Amino acid sequence: MAAATETLDTVQSVTQSGYKWGFETTIEMDFAPKGLNEDIIRLISARKEEPEWMLEWRLKAYAAWLKMEEPQWARVEHPPIDYQDLHYYAAPKKKAGPKSLEEVDPELLKMYEKLGIPLKERAILAGVDPDTVENTQIAVDAVFDSVSVATTFQSTLRKSGVIFCPISEAIREHPDLVKQYIGSVVPVADNFFAALNSAVFTDGSFVFIPKGVRCPMELSTYFRINARNTGQFERTLIIAEAGSQVSYLEGCTAPQRDENQLHAAVVELVAMDDARIKYSTVQNWYPGDSNGKGGIYNFVTKRGACRGDRSKISWTQVETGSAITWKYPSCVLLGEDSVGEFYSVAVTNNHQQADTGTKMIHFGKGSRSTIISKGISAGHSNNTYRGLVRMLPSATNARNFTQCDSLLIGDQCGAHTVPYIESRNPTAKVEHEATTSKIADDQLFYCRQRGLSEEDAVGLIVNGFCKDVLKELPMEFAVEAQKLLAVSLEGSVG
Amino acid sequence: MLEIKGLTASIGDKPILNGVDLTVPPGEVHAIMGPNGAGKSTLGYVLSGREDYTVTGGTVTFNGINLLDLEPEQRAATGVFLAFQAPVELPGVNNANFLRTALNAIRRAHGESELDAVQFLKLARAETKRLHMPDDMLKRNVNVGFSGGEKKRNEVLQMAILRPKLAILDETDSGLDIDALKIVADGVNALRGPEFSALVITHHQRLLDYLVPHRVHVLANGRILRSGGPELAKELEKSGYAGMIAEAA
């Protein structure tokens, strides 16, 4: 009978799918020895052919890190991390730096194909006119372990004055820009993980959008952790000069492994007068298996500074992966009438732990911020929203609206909301709304009675719950994010 | 052909159905009437597979398939549709998207090709037009912010689009004005055909003026007390259930 066969197929696909990005690519790697000390930092700096000031900056960060302790306030638990048991540098072995895709290891390109990364420069090299396809194109900076492998579309971007390149290249080619802005939003000693990143970061992306330029395409980075026992420490810096606009998407995957892998990134955004930066993240690092073994520890510092009047920074994140997520993309609203936005979907299943949220720091007169957070917990997971809204004395007529919704699936999981609100200006307005709900049995039955499988029903209800956030994602990624939500929650009911 | 034999079911320890025997031949519309608490809604839920109820005995087959062995979505795929007495709200889920997902799930189960968004909208718009419903019904979130009447009409729209072989209407007429009542009746009448059966649970004779049943059954204390033609509904309207129940006891 057709219906029974269908169900069998569904059950099979559900039990077999697991983490579909869990493959390892065999490429010869160039490792630094395990452990962290000044010599390792010098080695990283030397491998990157960095100028002296960069090395000094790193060493300063390292000195600060040595005096710091891992933060304990987040609602996450993990065995102690042995920072001396990690490789801080791993790069695919290569002859010289790849200048074009032809020089890139074909194994690598094959892996990106598996990941579905649109390295469409191949198409363009094959004779497609870039001007006719430009608007639907996405420029990709792919970070494979520690080294940025290929940056597509560089030449098209250059035409409009946009710089989009690996940060290691920017340090060599545009030292004045990097020197001026790096660490200006997230200081080296900002927090334990940011200090660690500042000392040992190996790659990441650099974006510079000149005055008045609207970046002609979506910029995108794909991070992938491949090698064993390596931490991935990327550093991203995006500068939008007055009147410019850019939309940036970061996607992440990692192969399936038993041991935990550390990831501690820093992202800094700077928006000047009337500039707009939209930063979207789809994070599906390996979350560990259903017993909580393995998975990525994701300790990330992301912060944007709205330095100019009427500037706007918008964070959108869909977080479905990692064993532990510790992440608070924030906005410092310095400019008058500047705008900060945070749209977040965080899904935890099995034994995942997420402690995520945002900080909106209002300095500017008339600055506004919006926070929409959707947390979904299933299995034995814990999902915490932690947010800070701070109105400083200068923030006359500033406003914030916060909406935090939690959805629980099953009765073994937890949802927690920890909002901090500080207002030191009597004209500032702060609104906070929060709800917690469960997927009701009658909702599931209603969907199933109409013919939907239980998994599809959960997917549909969860996507409905997250709609306000998903609609903020760039079109190309909204569909991917929806599928990701469904995959992340497979096996969470019944 | 729906065949229910000796069906008993309970919720928790409380027996609700105490041996229901009922046969609905293909092409026929049967009405189920009865006092409050008789087990009418329970019968609808048990036929469609709601897990809160435990079937303690008896059999239910539909076109030769043992329904009690199937999950709710598998029953839907065999053509069972329940129009809910209290339709459920799905916040953020677009009605058109919901219906297309449901229709495609059923089509897949039958080995038919799925409809894309354009094909589906064409079909759905034709149905809203035929049922005199505004197109924005499709754009709104499933039952969210719908009035009681709109929710019931949405059930009829879903039924029209999913084209079931066995429609169970659980008091779909309750709380409806006369115009809405006609829409419900039209919705069922449009599906009538040699392969379509319906069980219409209702308290009121009025619906049956527009939706004339082949048979009327009286359900009380969890079993079928009496069966008859459409005239039985008219008789009940006059004399009520009390006398009939006393007579049977």
A contacts of B84 (beta carbons < 8 Å): 446, 449
Please give the residue of chain B at the shortest CA–CA distance from A447. Answer: B102
Q: Would you call B90 and A461 a contact, using CB atoms and an 8 Å cutoff?
A: yes
Query: Burial, B12: exposed, middle or buried (Cβ in 10 Å; 0-12, 13-18, 19+)?
Result: exposed
Question: For residues A386 and A417, what is the distance between their CA atoms, to the nearest angstrom?
Answer: 6
Q: Which candidate from B87, B111, B158 shows the least CB-CB separation from A2?
A: B111
Question: For residues A388 and A422, what is the distance between their CA atoms, to the nearest angstrom?
Answer: 8
Model confidence pLDDT, tens digit, residues A184-240 = 999 988 999 999 999 999 878 899 999 999 988 778 765 555 444 455 788 999 999
Our CA angle for A480, A483, A485, nearest 5°, is 110
Q: How far is B243 from chain A (nearest CA, A)?
A: 36
- C-alpha to C-alpha distances, B8 to A396, B13, B41, B57, B192, nearest whole angstrom: 69, 12, 14, 5, 29
* Average pLDDT over every residue of A100-108: 58
- DSSP run (H or E) holding B136: helix B136-139
Question: For residues B56 and A287, what is the distance between their CA atoms, to the nearest angstrom?
Answer: 43
Look at residue A7 and tell me whether its pLDDT is greater than 60.
no
**SS3 of A271, please?**
strand
Question: For residues A59 and A50, what is the distance between their CA atoms, to the nearest angstrom?
Answer: 13
Look at residue A302 and tell me whether its pLDDT is greater than 90.
yes
Look at the alpha carbons of B169, B172, B173, B177 in this order and tell me if their dihedral is positive or negative. negative
Please give the residue of chain B at the shortest CA–CA distance from A451. Answer: B73
Amino acid occupying residue B81: F
Contact B235, B225 (CB under 8 A): no
DSSP classification of residue A456: H
Q: Would you call B162 and A452 a contact, using CB atoms and an 8 Å cutoff?
A: no
Domain boundaries, chain B: 2-248
pTM of the model: 0.77
Model confidence pLDDT, tens digit, residues A310-345 = 999 999 988 887 788 888 999 999 999 999 999 998
When the pLDDT of each residue in chain B is averaged and rounded to a whole number, the result is 91
**SS3 of B100, please?**
helix
Interface subset of B 103-132, CB within 8 angstroms of A: 103, 105-106, 108-111
Q: In what order do the strands lie in the sheet with B14-24?
A: B14-24, B2-11, B54-62, B65-66
Question: For residues B8 and B24, what is the distance between their CA atoms, to the nearest angstrom?
Answer: 18
Q: What ipTM, to 2 d.p.?
A: 0.95
Closest of B35, B24, B12 to residue B223, by C-alpha: B35
- Which CATH code, of 3.40.190.10, 3.40.50.300, 3.40.50.2020, 3.60.20.10, is assigned to B2-248? 3.40.50.300
Domain boundaries, chain A: 20-327
Q: How far is B61 from chain A (nearest CA, A)?
A: 14
Q: In whole angstroms, what separates CA A61 from the centre of its chain?
A: 22
Model confidence pLDDT, tens digit, residues B183-214 = 889 889 989 999 999 999 998 888 899 999 99
Q: How far is B230 from chain A (nearest CA, A)?
A: 29
**SS3 of A178, please?**
helix
